[in-house]
A and B are shown apart, each in its own frame.
Chain A
Amino acid sequence: GQQVMQIPQYQHVQEGEDFTTYCNSSTTLSNIQWYKQRPGGHPVFLIQLVKSGEVKKQKRLTFQFGEAKKNSSLHITATQTTDVGTYFCADPPTGNQFYFGTGTSLTVIP
């Protein structure tokens, strides 16, 4: 099945540093969702972006949808240990599939 690529695959940051993960699709997305999965846990929905160029903020997290709706980014300002986990973008279903990106695993070093 199709898959949305994310980079980087892994990221280690010192606590307090910023972090960004990028999501890229070869096709135009109708919208994009972001999820966070803590180690040993299940994915939890963070946000959905719909409009071209849309930017949304949740406290220290900033989500952006590209103008062409083929890419998206998640930026975390001043990371904390609670930000540890894997962040996935997801391509909501067109038809009967719901695919997740490859994910970026974030480690925050205290």
Chain B
Amino acid sequence: GAVVSQHPSWVICKSGTSVKIECRSLDFQATTMFWYRQFPKQSLMLMATSNEGSKATYEQGVEKDKFLINHASLTLSTLTVTSAHPEDSSFYICSAMGLGGASPLHFGNGTRLTVT
């Protein structure tokens, strides 16, 4: 089956630093990847859609300069949280859609970010 690997699983960083989260599709090529943020006991909130070789599409209210997304290849997308603050602490999950836009989504295991 399709596997999406997300690293790191958890990270603790100091306020003001930047954190990079990687999302890789291991056995398929992902033209589109989605990045979600999930607060405790809440739903998955779409942050941005990442398409290989083009700029990401951000949802309203998500700061593109703060959450940098790069989808440089068909198997890798990265999310960098720049100048992190405690309010950025959350569970970040990536998901991938294969070639041709085939559903369903395959999710990474998520990254628990804690900013102190």
* Chain A residues close to B by CB (< 8 Å): 1, 3, 33, 35, 41-45, 48, 88, 90, 92-93, 96-103, 105
Contact = CB atoms under 8 A, between A and B. Distances in A.
Contacts of B78: none
B49 interface: yes
A33 B103 contact: yes
Interface string B81-116: 000000000000101010001011111111000000
Contacts of B108: 42
Contacts of A43: 44, 93, 95, 105, 107
5 contacts: A1-B46, A3-B43, A43-B93, A48-B104, A98-B97
Contact of B46 (A41, A42, A97, A101): A97
A30 to B, nearest CB: 11
Rank and list the top 10 A-B pairs by shortest CB-CB distance, nearest first.
Answer: A45-B104, A42-B107, A100-B44, A103-B43, A96-B49, A102-B43, A42-B110, A92-B103, A96-B57, A98-B34
Contacts, number: 59
A102 B39 CA distance: 12
Nearest to A6: B43
Nearest to A99: B46
Contacts of A44: 107
A98 B46 contact: yes
Given A42-B93, A42-B110, A100 B57 contact: no
- Which of A33, A42, A100, A103 has the most C-beta atoms of chain B within 10 angstroms of its own C-beta? A42
Given A1-B59, A93-B101, A98 B49 contact: yes
Contacts of B46: 1, 97-100
Contacts of A48: 103-104
Nearest to B108: A42
Interface in B46-100: 46, 49, 51, 57, 59-60, 93, 95, 97
A54 B70 CA distance: 39
A105 B44 contact: no
Contacts of A101: 43
A101 B107 CA distance: 16
A93 B109 CA distance: 21
